[in-house]
Amino acid sequence: MPPATLNAAVAPFSAAAASRRADTTPLTLSLVEQIAARLSERIVGGDYAPAQRIMEQAVADEFQVSRGPVREALRLLEKDGLVTILARRGALVTQLSIDEVREIFDIRAMLNGLRDRAIAEDTERTRHLPLLEKEVATLTRLARDAEQGDAYVEAVARLNRTLGQMLRNRRLKAILDSLALQTLRYSQLGLSTPQRRKQSVQHWQKLLKAIREGNGVEAERIARQRVNDSRDAAIARLQEAKNKRNQGGKKAA
Amino acid sequence: MPPATLNAAVAPFSAAAASRRADTTPLTLSLVEQIAARLSERIVGGDYAPAQRIMEQAVADEFQVSRGPVREALRLLEKDGLVTILARRGALVTQLSIDEVREIFDIRAMLNGLRDRAIAEDTERTRHLPLLEKEVATLTRLARDAEQGDAYVEAVARLNRTLGQMLRNRRLKAILDSLALQTLRYSQLGLSTPQRRKQSVQHWQKLLKAIREGNGVEAERIARQRVNDSRDAAIARLQEAKNKRNQGGKKAA
DNA sequence: GTCAAGAAGATTGTTGACAATCCTACAAAA
DNA sequence: TTTTGTAGGATTGTCAACAATCTTCTTGAC
């Protein structure tokens, strides 16, 4: 049988794997990677709830493949922290505790610092600078309008993608992508108010300036500050939600 | 058939997976994890040469299992960067370019900085301090003796394991373990001369002091410096070896 | 002697089936 | 009422076999 192909188009799953094979032209994702990408979308998108069990046969039936590739895809997702595999009990959608979210943000702060410093110190950065300028300008415009919350979040994501493309260190990019995926559900919590967006856009403007001037140390400092701010805002929101849940639970009981 | 068990005892493979199941009794590694651990040992230990092809059936025959678990194990190793899987061509032992080694060391510098800062700022660090003091003392003693090169390298590895155990951030530990595994072959290059060991032991002494005093910023600074020094020494050695190879190649041709 | 084309073998990608284990529901005893 | 024990079904873990692709070797032409 020819290697089955899933109907829908899917985004590349493993940036690390994709970049490492850049020389041998992937073009078509392997079945395992396609399944992993689809499941990944669902988990990040919230179609599967945290702690929900993902059963191999169900996924296999739905995608019309056998359980083998599904098992391998789930193993990939486990390495990315999106599911947790328990022996003889299968895969569960990973549920992060508040502490774990904080831990991931701490790692991201360091590695975003490395990323932005590397970009600022890259002598070829000028090639991408115009695009960067334009995206920060868009950000600035969107931040002024209190109604443009979702658009702002999307613009920040696009800016981060651009920075990822400017980054030479492929392995760093892969790790950052993986960590970003794990906390996607929580990252946006930090940009929920116009006030926070104001502060956010200032960070980006300062980062752009540091990159423009080739000031790596400053770029790193700003990046760390920015991610730490996101972390604190996200944690505060999560803590709020948790307290509310607990109170509600007590009232019900 | 009962789940086959590989004869030899193996070290835990995936720190992330192991720690995430801490509540559900790991105790026995799954077959896939055992295979991954065995193959990992071989790759890191140099039993498989870089760029060497690892064939599924051969591994399956040797461990007396079928190809299914072997395939899953290879996928895990790919996520850890130890092998590179090419579509329809199987798994190759990853061969790192000098640039890639540098990239990994850059990431390790940042994350070791985070690790040591977190340890220094952990209020419960005093619980482990005596052991840390003892290990740095051992290091100091070994560094005096020019003959104790291997013992010194081993002692540094043990010290790093201890620091890993002091670390609360499990995900950071998992990433660090994975990166360390990938560069194990190169890390020791930095400690090859008594002079470098002298410098190394000074770093560790200063780190210990910073941890003792709870000075997280200083601990981070030292850690980054230390890894960057290792990086530069390792890169220099690799560059040397590469030049020699090229010259030898030219002479032969 | 070098290079291209084709056939044979080897290897991966995928599948369906079976065995071992786990979960659930229900019944029996304390 | 709560706990314990026990079937039955459901799910994972593993395997062996087949199809598609890749690699290598041979053959032939220039």
Nearest to B196 by CA among B244, B242, B143: B143
Is B107 in contact with A175 (Cβ distance < 8 A)?
Answer: yes
Residue B1, CB, less than 7 Å from strand C? Answer: yes
SS3 A8: coil
Distance CA A21, CA A37 (A): 17
Distance CA B250, CA B253 (A): 5
Report yes or no: B35 and B10 within 8 Å, Cβ to Cβ.
no
* pLDDT per position as a tens digit, A65-75: 999 999 999 99
* pLDDT per position as a tens digit, B212-226: 999 999 999 999 999
* pLDDT per position as a tens digit, B57-116: 999 999 999 999 999 999 999 999 999 999 999 999 999 999 999 999 999 999 999 999
The pLDDT value given to residue A28: 64
User: Please, what is the average pLDDT of chain B?
Assistant: 87
More confident of the two residues B149 and B3? B149
Percentages helix, strand, coil for chain B, rounded to the nearest 5? 75, 5, 25
* pLDDT per position as a tens digit, A112-137: 999 999 999 999 999 999 999 999 99
The yes-or-no verdict on residue B157 having pLDDT over 70 is yes
The pLDDT value given to residue B24: 36
Give the best residue of B171, B179, B224 to mutate against chain A (max A CB count within 10 A): B171
Question: What number is the average pLDDT over the span A18-39?
Answer: 68
SS3 B136: helix
Question: What number is the average pLDDT over the span B188-193?
Answer: 75
Length of chain A: 253
Residue A67, CB, less than 7 Å from strand D? Answer: yes
Chain A: residue whose CA lies nearest to B3: A88
Is A169 in contact with B24 (Cβ distance < 8 A)?
Answer: no
| pTM for the predicted model, two decimal places | 0.89
Is A110 in contact with B110 (Cβ distance < 8 A)?
Answer: yes
Is residue A146 within 8 angstroms of chain B, CB to CB?
no
The pLDDT value given to residue B25: 38
In the structure, how many helices (H) and strands (E) does chain A have? 11, 3
Residue B32, CB, less than 7 Å from strand D? Answer: yes
Contacts of B168 in chain A (CB under 8 A): 103
Contacts of B85 in chain A (CB under 8 A): 17
User: pLDDT grade, residue A244 (50/70/90)?
Assistant: confident
The yes-or-no verdict on residue A8 having pLDDT over 70 is no
Give the burial class of B185: count Cβ atoms within 10 A of its Cβ; 0-12 exposed, 13-18 middle, 19 or more buried: middle
